[in-house]
């Protein structure tokens, strides 16, 4: 017996040595650069040593299963770049009540062909002062009504068994005012006050206000909040209850990295780094995208590659185009693995409203000219508003003025413009600048809501066609498509948020409604709205995951065509060529193919010689040769 034990012990020791070796190798690969950057920012050897020790600790804590997955993914390279990758984002409570509920609903998500689930913020956060969960009170606790950390780890395991990846938010710019650190800071504890930005005197906050724009000009004006009980101002870029963390303090960086690794060890595959451009503040600047932000993201990438290399960093960079791509870093020194394709999203809706594809084409050309390793997350709608961050310099050349155009877009999507079928609401209308953003679901913006209310079947046909065309276009873009839960059944705006005093001031809740499971029953009926949208998407998804032209490393570019309502995208891979043409107008068109040749229409499956294709308004074709 004793002998056997010794063998087992021996085996364990051998395993441990092998595991330690892997860590050491990875550490060696990155150590010098990591140390260099850390010292540049903090010049603190002790804190760096602590960080390294803790990285090893979290590595040791990581389960054997996750370590195996890490190794597989390291060997596979960019494992998330697959043509069948399809994401869906959802609020746990809206979708399935709690985490266990999500687990029960995995078969539905598989039916949606989804293999990447983004669970919207679920960590402990005070009710009514949570910004949809983006004010975290405890990075290691799940909101009690949603379940426990163990439920989350179990869900991750179940997802992995089914080949599904799990994404969560890492809200690193700020904590809730109810976070332990904030509570201690509020008691006047200097050690904790130094983790935030506190000022007794209003002069520095006033200096900041001169150069820092506002995120929520109406719902949370200003970048500071006065705390009368302390006699201090605290920096709050977002809501007053979201206190900005001070990353000049190495304790903040280290502790937040430990939180990141803790969450990674629960089995997360993709970590969305929330509001990352804001994490470094400097007086006299706009406090966005400062060089130190990139130092921090680069360090995070290396820390991930050492401890948990299977993890993908998804940067939430909702900024103008030239500020976005730098978050990929360089090929030698990468930062984020994935970024949101935010300008393309906003420009898509601009195209819907104007029926003029020129700006969208220009934007897509910029994206297509970037290195192919850069992976964008494409989407039509998400949980946030649509900010009209368009290329106004170009629009100006075409005679369009920024202020007037934003007003037009907002009027159009509210359904106030002749011919518009969209429904939705403004967001953070700025009384000073007249600026506003927009909120609604995809289906409501496409006309499903108005056609439904008017019970107008003809209008409904148009709305569904537009909705499917936009999804087909999203699937044709270079990158990974992400659906917003409910869009697969054409869920429309939910106005009940107005009855909840906690939500009423924030119109983003109009598209954060409860998922309507009753409507899911309708998908079996191919003539119902839900059936038409769900099955239409299903067909598109099937084509996308089976056809090589949708390979993620395909060559993608747009084609010059004389008609400014037709967007023409070409994808080339494995010797095949896809001509994808989208009609952003109400009128039908005859499209001339580049030459008379044999094409397969991927939607109908018909292969024949064609020279021209007839396309109805708001319709599309996928022609392959």
Nearest to ligand GLC of 171, 263 (CB atom): 171
Binding region for ligand GLC (CB under 6 A) out of 131-139, 357-365, 407-415, 453-461: 131-139
Phi-psi region of 346 (alpha: psi -120 to 50; beta: other; left: phi over 0): alpha
Q: How far is the CB of 143 from ligand GLC (least distance, A)?
A: 16
Identify the CA nearest to 272 among candidates 121, 418, 401, 374. 121
Please give the Cα distance from 514 to 520 (Å, whole number): 13
Among 275, 489, 492, 570, binds ligand GLC (CB under 6 A): 275
Q: How far is the CB of 237 from ligand GLC (least distance, A)?
A: 8
Please give the Cα distance from 581 to 530 (Å, whole number): 25
Q: How far is the CB of 279 from ligand GLC (least distance, A)?
A: 11
Nearest to ligand GLC of 128, 594 (CB atom): 128
Binding region for ligand GLC (CB under 6 A) out of 130-138, 247-255, 456-464, 482-490: 130-138
Half-sphere exposure of 201 (CA within 13 A, CB side): 3
Query: Contact letters (x/-) for ligand GLC, 143-172, by CB under 6 A?
Result: ----------------------------x-
Q: How far is the CB of 173 from ligand GLC (least distance, A)?
A: 7
| 131 counts as binding ligand GLC under rule CB under 6 A | yes
Site for ligand GLC in 350-369 (CB under 6 A): none
Nearest to ligand GLC of 106, 215 (CB atom): 215
Query: Contact letters (x/-) for ligand GLC, 171-200, by CB under 6 A?
Result: x-----------------------------
Query: For residues 349 and 363, is the Cβ–Cβ distance under 8 A?
Result: no
| Residue with tokens 């994401």, as numbered in its chain | 87
Q: How far is the CB of 537 from ligand GLC (least distance, A)?
A: 24
Query: For residues 165 and 117, is the Cβ–Cβ distance under 8 A?
Result: yes
How many degrees, rounded to 5, is the angle at CA 442 between CA 529 and CA 523?
A: 25
Q: How far is the CB of 197 from ligand GLC (least distance, A)?
A: 16
Residue 300 neighbours by CB under 8 Å, 6+ apart: 257, 260, 273, 313
Binding region for ligand GLC (CB under 6 A) out of 17-25, 128-136, 586-594, 601-609: 128-136
Instruction: Tell me, by CB under 6 A, how many residues bind ligand GLC.
Output: 10
| 132 counts as binding ligand GLC under rule CB under 6 A | yes
Please give the Cα distance from 186 to 183 (Å, whole number): 5
Identify the CA nearest to 580 among candidates 607, 608, 562, 599. 599
Among 139, 196, 238, 509, binds ligand GLC (CB under 6 A): 238
In 43-91, alpha helices (H): 45-61, 64-76
Please give the Cα distance from 374 to 78 (Å, whole number): 10
Among 59, 116, 134, 253, binds ligand GLC (CB under 6 A): 134
Among 244, 274, 435, 449, binds ligand GLC (CB under 6 A): 274
Nearest to ligand GLC of 274, 435 (CB atom): 274
The three-state DSSP-derived secondary structure of 222-257 is CCEEEECCCCEEEECCCCCCEEECCCCCHHHHHHHH
When CB distances to ligand GLC are compared, the closest residue is 134
Query: Contact letters (x/-) for ligand GLC, 282-321, by CB under 6 A?
Result: ----------------------------------x-----
Q: How far is the CB of 287 from ligand GLC (least distance, A)?
A: 14
Identify the CA nearest to 321 among candidates 337, 343, 338, 340. 343
Q: How far is the CB of 158 from ligand GLC (least distance, A)?
A: 26
Among 74, 84, 384, 555, binds ligand GLC (CB under 6 A): 384
| 217 counts as binding ligand GLC under rule CB under 6 A | no
3-state helix, strand, coil in the chain (%, to 5): 45, 20, 35
In 190-282, alpha helices (H): 190-193, 203-211, 250-264
Q: How far is the CB of 146 from ligand GLC (least distance, A)?
A: 17
| 385 counts as binding ligand GLC under rule CB under 6 A | no
| 377 counts as binding ligand GLC under rule CB under 6 A | no
Residue 524 burial (CB count, 10 A): 11
Task: Provide the 8-state DSSP code for 245.
Answer: P
Q: How far is the CB of 239 from ligand GLC (least distance, A)?
A: 8
DSSP string covering 102-127, please?
A: HHHTHHHHHHTT--EEEE---EE--T
Q: Burial-class residue 514 by CB neighbours within 10 Å (0-12, 13-18, 19+).
A: middle
| 620 counts as binding ligand GLC under rule CB under 6 A | no
Please give the Cα distance from 177 to 180 (Å, whole number): 8
How many degrees, rounded to 5, is the angle at CA 166 between CA 470 and CA 268?
A: 145
Binding region for ligand GLC (CB under 6 A) out of 97-105, 129-137, 283-291, 516-524: 129-137
The β-bridge relationship of strands 480-484 and 437-439 is unpaired
Q: Which residues contact ligand GLC (rule: CB under 6 A)?
A: 131-132, 134, 171, 238, 274-275, 316, 383-384
């Amino acid at each position: 017996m004793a002998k056997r034990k010794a063998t087992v012990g021996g085996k364990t020791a051998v395993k441990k040595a092998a595991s330690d070796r892997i860590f050491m190798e990875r550490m060696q690969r990155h150590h010098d650069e990591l140390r260099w950057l850390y010292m540049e920012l903090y010049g603190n050897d002790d804190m760096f040593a602590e960080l390294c020790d803790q990285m090893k600790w979290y590595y040791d804590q990581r389960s054997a299963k996750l370590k195996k997955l890490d190794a597989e993914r390291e060997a596979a390279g960019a494992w998330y770049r697959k043509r069948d990758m399809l994401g869906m984002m959802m609020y746990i409570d809206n979708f399935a009540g709690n985490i266990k509920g999500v687990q029960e609903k995995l078969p539905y998500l598989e039916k949606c062909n989804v293999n990447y689930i983004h669970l919207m913020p679920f960590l402990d956060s005070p009710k009514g002062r949570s910004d949809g969960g983006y004010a975290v009170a405890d990075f290691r606790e799940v909101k009690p009504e949603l379940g426990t950390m163990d439920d989350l780890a179990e869900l991750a395991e179940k997802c992995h068994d089914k080949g599904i990846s799990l994404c969560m938010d890492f809200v690193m710019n700020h904590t809730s005012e109810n976070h332990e650190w904030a509570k201690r800071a509020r008691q006047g504890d200097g050690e904790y006050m130094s983790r935030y930005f506190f000022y007794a005197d209003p002069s520095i906050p006033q200096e900041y206000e001169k150069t820092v724009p506002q995120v929520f000009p109406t719902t949370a004006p200003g970048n500071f909040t006065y705390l009368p009980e302390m006699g201090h101002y605290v920096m709050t870029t977002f809501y007053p209850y979201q206190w900005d963390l001070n990353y000049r303090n190495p304790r903040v960086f280290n502790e937040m990295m430990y939180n990141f690794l803790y969450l990674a060890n629960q089995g997360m595959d993709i970590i969305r780094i929330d509001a990352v451009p804001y994490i470094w503040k400097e007086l006299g600047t706009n406090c966005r995208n400062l060089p130190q932000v990139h130092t921090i993201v680069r360090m995070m990438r290396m820390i991930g590659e050492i401890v948990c290399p299977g993890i993908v960093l998804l940067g939430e960079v909702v900024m103008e185009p030239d500020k976005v791509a730098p978050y990929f870093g360089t090929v030698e020194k990468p930062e984020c693995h994935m970024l949101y394709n935010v300008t393309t999203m906003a420009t898509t809706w601009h195209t819907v409203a104007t029926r003029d594809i020129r700006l969208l084409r220009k934007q897509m050309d910029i994206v297509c000219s970037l290195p192919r390793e850069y992976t964008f997350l494409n989407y039509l709608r998400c949980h946030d508003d649509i900010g009209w961050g368009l290329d106004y310099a170009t629009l100006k050349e075409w005679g369009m003025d920024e202020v007037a155009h934003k007003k037009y877009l907002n009027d159009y999507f509210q359904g106030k413009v002749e011919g518009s079928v969209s429904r939705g609401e403004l967001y953070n209308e700025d009384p000073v600048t007249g600026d506003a953003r927009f909120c609604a679901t995809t289906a409501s913006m496409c006309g499903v809501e108005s056609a439904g209310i008017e019970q107008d079947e003809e209008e409904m046909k148009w709305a569904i066609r537009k909705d499917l065309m936009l999804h087909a276009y999203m699937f044709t873009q270079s990158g990974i498509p992400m659906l917003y839960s409910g869009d697969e059944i054409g869920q429309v705006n939910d106005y009940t948020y107005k009855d909840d005093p906690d939500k009423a001031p924030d119109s983003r809740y109009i598209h954060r409604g409860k998922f309507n499971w009753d409507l899911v029953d309708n998908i079996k009926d191919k003539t119902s709205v839900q059936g038409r949208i769900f099955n239409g998407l299903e067909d598109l998804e099937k084509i996308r995951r089976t056809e090589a032209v949708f390979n993620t490393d395909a060559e993608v570019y747009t084609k010059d065509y004389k008609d400014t309502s037709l967007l023409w995208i070409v994808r080339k891979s494995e010797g095949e060529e896809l001509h994808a043409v989208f009609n952003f107008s109400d009128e039908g068109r005859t499209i001339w193919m580049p030459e008379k040749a044999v094409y397969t229409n991927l939607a109908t499956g018909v292969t024949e010689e064609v020279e021209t294709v007839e396309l109805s308004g708001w319709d599309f074709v996928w022609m392959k040769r």
